[in-house]
C-alpha cells in the first residue's frame, strides 16, 4: 500500500476521492471432490485513515511480497529453460528498488529483450495461469486474507469471479469467512449470472476495470467501468460503519499512547506537511478537530465515543520539533 499517499496527492489535484485499498493474491484450498484449488484475488477497501492494526496487515502483506520475489525468480528460471535467457537484474530494474516483481514486470522485461512482440503475447504464451513459465508464490488461503481484512477495519470483496473455474463453492466458503461483496460489473456492463450469485449469498455488488497496465485488447481501460449510483450507496452503507469503528480504534490508540508512531498511523495516507520547530496544532484535539470532518460525516462525529477521545487528546501535545504530520485537505 506504499503508493497510496502519492495516489491521494495526485487525485486531489483533479478533485478525485481515493479509497485506500489493496488487491491480495490468495489460494482457495478445496475441501471436497466438487471443489478445486484456484488462485483467488481479494480486494480490501479501507477508510481515508487507512487500516487499523496496520503493522499486522503490513506483516501479512510482507510475507506475500517475499513470496513474490521467489515466484518471480522461478519464472525467470523457467523462461531460461525455455531458451529465453532473461536476466533477473533486468526484471528487478523494471520493478524498481524494493518492489517485489510480478508477472507484469517479467513481461515488460521480455518485451524489452525482444522475446515477445507485446505484453499480451508474453502472457498468452508463457505467463498465464498454468502456463509454461507460470509459478505460484506463497499466497495465503483466501479465508485468511478475508479475516485479516476484517480484523484491520476493511471491506473484503471478491475480485473478477468470472475468472474462476468453479465460483459457487468459493463464494459460499468466502461468505462464511466474512466476505462483504463481489465484483459483478465490468467494462461491458453487469454480468447477470454473478449478480444473481451475489444476491443468493447476500453480498454487495461492485465492479472494477482490473486494470494492471498489461496492454492488449483483453484489458479494460482505467476507469472504464460505470457503476450505478445505487451500487456506491449500498457499498458505503456497509463500509461506513466498519471504517468509522476502525477510525475510532486508531484514535483511541493515540489517545492512550500519544507516540510518534501512533500519530503516523493516524496521518499515514494524507499530504505530508513538515513542520520545523513544531506543529501548528497546539494539542491532539486541534489535530483531530481538523481531520475528523475529512474522515467522518456530521452524524458520525456526534458519536459520544469520539467526543471522549477528543477530550483525552486535549492534553496531548503534537508540537514536537521536526515532526511530519500528514493531513488530507479539501
pLDDT for residue 274: 42
When the pLDDT of each residue in the chain is averaged and rounded to a whole number, the result is 84
Name the residue among 135, 165, 178, 157 with its Cα closest to residue 24.
157
314 or 152, which is more confident: 152
Residue 158 has pLDDT above 50, yes or no: yes
Please give the C-alpha separations between residue 231 and each of 43, 144, 318, in angstroms, as whole numbers: 16, 27, 40
Which one, of 236, 241, 66, 264, lies nearest residue 150 by Cα? 241
pLDDT higher than 60, residue 295: yes
Q: Which of 329, 328, 326 is nearest to 260 (CA)?
A: 326
Cα dihedral 2, 270, 296, 236 sign: negative
What's the CATH architecture for 1-227?
Alpha-Beta Barrel (3.20)
Backbone angles phi, psi at 273, to 5 degrees: -115, 125
Q: Where do the domains of the chain lie?
A: 1-227, 258-327
User: Within its chain, how far is the Cα of 250 from the centroid?
Assistant: 19
User: What is residue 213's predicted lDDT score, i.e. its pLDDT?
Assistant: 57
Question: What is the maximal distance between C-alpha atoms in the chain?
Answer: 67
Eight-class DSSP state of 220: P
Q: What angle is formed at CA 248 by the lines to CA 247 and CA 249, rounded to 5 degrees?
A: 90
In 163-259, alpha helices (H): 167-177, 192-200, 229-256
- Cite the beta strand spans of 88-177 per DSSP E: 155-158
CA distance linking residue 72 with residue 70, whole number of Å: 6
Instruction: Indicate the range of 37-41, 236-240, 248-252, 298-302 predicted with least confidence.
Output: 298-302
Distance between alpha carbon 42 and the CA centroid of its chain, in Å?
A: 9
How confident is the model over 84-130, as pLDDT tens digits? Answer: 999 999 999 999 887 889 899 999 999 999 999 999 999 999 999 88
Q: What percent of the chain has pLDDT over 70?
A: 84
Residue 158 host element (H or E):
strand 155-158
Residue 228 is placed in which grid cell?
A: 450505478
What is the pairing mode between strands 181-186 and 155-158?
A: parallel
Residue 189: the pLDDT is: 64
Amino acid at each position: 500500500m506504499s503508493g497510496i499517499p502519492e495516489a491521494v496527492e495526485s487525485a486531489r489535484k483533479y478533485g478525485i476521492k481515493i479509497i485506500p485499498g489493496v488487491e491480495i493474491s490468495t489460494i482457495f484450498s478445496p475441501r471436497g471432490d466438487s471443489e478445486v484449488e484456484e488462485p483467488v484475488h481479494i480486494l480490501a477497501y479501507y477508510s481515508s485513515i487507512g487500516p487499523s492494526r496496520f503493522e499486522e496487515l503490513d506483516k501479512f502483506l510482507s510475507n506475500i511480497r517475499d513470496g513474490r520475489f521467489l515466484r518471480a525468480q522461478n519464472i525467470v528460471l523457467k523462461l531460461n529453460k525455455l531458451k529465453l535467457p532473461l536476466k533477473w537484474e533486468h526484471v528487478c530494474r523494471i520493478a524498481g528498488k524494493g518492489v517485489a516483481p510480478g508477472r507484469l514486470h517479467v513481461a515488460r522485461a521480455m518485451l524489452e529483450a525482444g522475446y515477445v512482440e507485446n505484453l499480451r503475447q508474453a502472457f498468452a504464451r508463457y505467463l498465464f495461469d498454468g502456463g509454461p513459465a507460470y509459478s505460484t508464490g506463497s499466497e495465503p488461503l483466501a479465508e485468511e486474507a478475508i479475516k485479516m481484512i476484517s480484523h484491520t477495519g476493511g471491506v473484503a470483496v471478491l475480485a473478477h469471479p468470472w475468472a474462476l473455474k468453479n465460483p459457487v463453492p468459493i463464494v459460499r466458503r468466502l461468505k462464511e469467512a466474512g466476505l462483504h461483496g463481489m465484483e459483478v460489473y465490468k467494462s461491458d456492463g453487469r454480468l447477470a449470472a454473478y449478480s444473481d450469485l451475489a444476491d443468493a449469498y447476500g453480498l454487495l455488488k461492485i465492479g472494477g476495470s482490473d486494470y494492471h497496465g498489461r496492454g492488449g485488447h483483453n484489458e479494460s481501460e482505467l476507469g472504464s467501468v460505470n457503476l450505478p449510483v445505487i451500487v456506491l450507496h449500498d457499498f458505503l452503507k456497509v463500509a461506513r460503519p466498519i471504517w468509522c469503528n476502525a477510525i475510532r480504534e486508531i484514535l483511541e490508540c493515540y489517545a492512550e499512547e500519544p507516540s510518534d508512531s501512533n500519530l503516523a498511523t493516524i496521518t499515514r495516507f494524507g499530504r505530508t506537511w513538515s513542520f520545523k520547530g513544531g506543529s501548528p496544532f497546539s494539542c491532539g484535539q486541534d489535530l483531530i478537530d481538523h481531520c475528523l470532518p475529512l474522515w467522518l460525516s456530521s452524524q458520525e462525529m456526534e458519536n459520544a465515543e469520539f467526543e471522549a477521545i477528543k477530550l483525552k487528546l486535549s492534553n496531548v501535545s503534537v508540537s514536537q520539533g521536526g515532526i511530519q504530520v500528514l493531513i488530507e485537505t479539501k
